């Protein structure tokens, strides 16, 4: 069992046909210290307190050197997300508290991940 120390909102929710997509951060405690990663969850359009799907693997984890080494190592912390007209999501995040980065993915892939794994 993975022990999650903290979970919190990151980017504002994105309204989709299948629900509100919320990208959040989770902090996992390890023997080497905490690791901040990003996850995705789908919330009901009418009742956002109801989770309708969740992507079980993280959608973003610290892998690159600039994400793993810095003022606070092993951190990717999403601050914003933008859906482009072509359906690509740009996720803006801080890396190791020393860099600002952007990651991209098709919106549909993130939504599909939330419903593939169940919750």
- In terms of residue numbers, what domain contains 50? 4-116
For residue 5, what pLDDT is reported? Answer: 78
Contact of 92 with 99, CB cutoff 8 Å:
no
Q: Give the CATH number for residue 15.
A: 2.115.10.20
Give the mean pLDDT of the chain. Answer: 93
Contact of 5 with 27, CB cutoff 8 Å:
yes
pLDDT digits (tens, 9 = 90+) for 29-81: 988 899 999 999 999 999 999 999 999 999 999 999 999 999 999 999 999 99
pLDDT above 60: residue 4:
yes
Percent of the chain scoring above 90 in pLDDT: 86
The residues near 33 (Cβ < 8 Å, ≥ 6 apart) are 73, 74
Number of independent structural domains in the chain:
1
The DSSP line for 9-51 is E-SPPEEETTEEEEEEEEEEEETTEEEEEEEEEEE-SS-TTSE
């Amino acid at each position: 069992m993975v022990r999650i120390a903290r979970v919190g909102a990151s980017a504002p929710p994105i309204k989709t046909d299948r629900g509100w997509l919320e990208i959040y951060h989770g902090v996992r405690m390890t023997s080497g210290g905490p690791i901040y990663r990003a996850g995705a969850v789908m919330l009901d359009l009418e009742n956002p307190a109801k989770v309708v799907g969740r992507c079980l693997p993280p959608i973003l984890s610290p892998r690159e050197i600039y994400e793993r080494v810095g003022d606070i190592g092993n951190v990717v912390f999403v601050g914003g997300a933008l859906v482009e007209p072509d359906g690509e999501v740009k996720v803006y995040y801080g890396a190791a508290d020393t860099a600002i980065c952007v990651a991209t993915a098709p919106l549909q892939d993130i939504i599909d991940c939330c419903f593939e794994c169940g919750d």
